[in-house]
Amino acid sequence: MGSEGSTPKWATEPCIMGIDEAGRGPVLGPMVYGCLYCALSYRDALSSLNFADSKTLKEEKREELFELLKANESIGWAVDVIDPRELSAKMLKKNKINLNEISHDSAMGLVAGVLKMGVLLTEVYVDTVGDADKYTSKLSQKFPGIKFVVAKKADSLYPVVSGASIVAKVTRDRALHNWMFDETAENMHRNFGSGYPGDPETKAWLEHHKHSVFGFPTLVRFSWATCTTYFKDAVEVIWESDNLDEDCSTNKNGKRQLKLSSLGFTGRRKSSEEIESSGKGRCKFFQARKLEQLVQF
């Protein structure tokens, strides 16, 4: 999502970009990274548009400024909306990706996307995530032809980042307002407050919408520590794979592991005849369901 239409003529001039996020801390909804870019020669004019850190502005003013920048042909913008399920999945996977890494990847994706459009970026201003010097070095290594300025409170220091802050915040607010629930329970409602863990209205919504077996609706970032307190009395789930004993092994911690060979992953692709003739067969889980290895699709 972002500026529509062909690449503007001014994009071939040296350009600046600002990057900021909205929704890093909430337990509900997506995290949104936004960017705003314009010609370097438009920097002074940009300052006159009275952009400010979105957190200091009322919702009505943010919406007004967002519509103004969208209509301004001298400005371009883009967003990356990161779904709460994606955030949780990355943070809980075996090789965990922390929130800082997710943030860095999103910011770099925005830079790469704008460069791909043919915009001549020469300076990029970023609101820092983690150590500013390390973040600057990371960005500079990825994009060696661009000057990066990474700073705390960049959305209060640089108008181009303030504009990006408004883009990100309005996009997130609209995403929450228009959120389409995958779940269809009759007692669900949208009175979830700000989405921040300390908000009483958010706490009440989480308490009301928890399920002892299925957890929370997909709006919730279930990897947040806030969520664990709601499931002290949750139903214990025992996975079938925990009880498998055929073609399984035990690791040094005494926990059962499913061998990759059981799932058909080997150094080379084996035929079903080879698997049968090996005498090992496949795990009971697959045998009971008459599941076969897919080799062509």
Each residue's pLDDT, cut to its tens digit, for the chain (297 residues) gives 677 667 889 999 999 999 999 999 999 999 999 999 999 999 999 999 888 878 888 999 999 999 999 999 999 999 999 999 999 999 988 899 999 999 999 999 999 999 999 999 999 999 999 999 999 999 999 999 999 999 999 999 999 999 999 999 999 999 999 998 888 877 889 899 989 999 999 999 999 998 888 889 999 999 998 888 888 778 877 766 555 544 455 555 555 554 444 444 444 445 555 544 444 555 666 676 667 776 665
Concatenating the DSSP letter of every residue in 213-270 gives TTBS-TTB-TTSHHHHGGGTTPPP---GGGG--SSEEE-TTS-EEE-GGGGT--SSPP
Task: Write down the residue that tokens 């919408």 correspond to.
Answer: 209
Q: What are phi and psi of 247, to 5 degrees?
A: 65, 25
122 three-class SS = strand
Q: What is the pTM of this model?
A: 0.78
Which one, of 159, 158, 147, 157, lies nearest residue 123 by Cα? Answer: 147
Cα distances (angstroms) measured from residue 54 to each of 62, 65, 82, 150, 168: 7, 10, 19, 18, 9
25: helix, strand or coil: coil
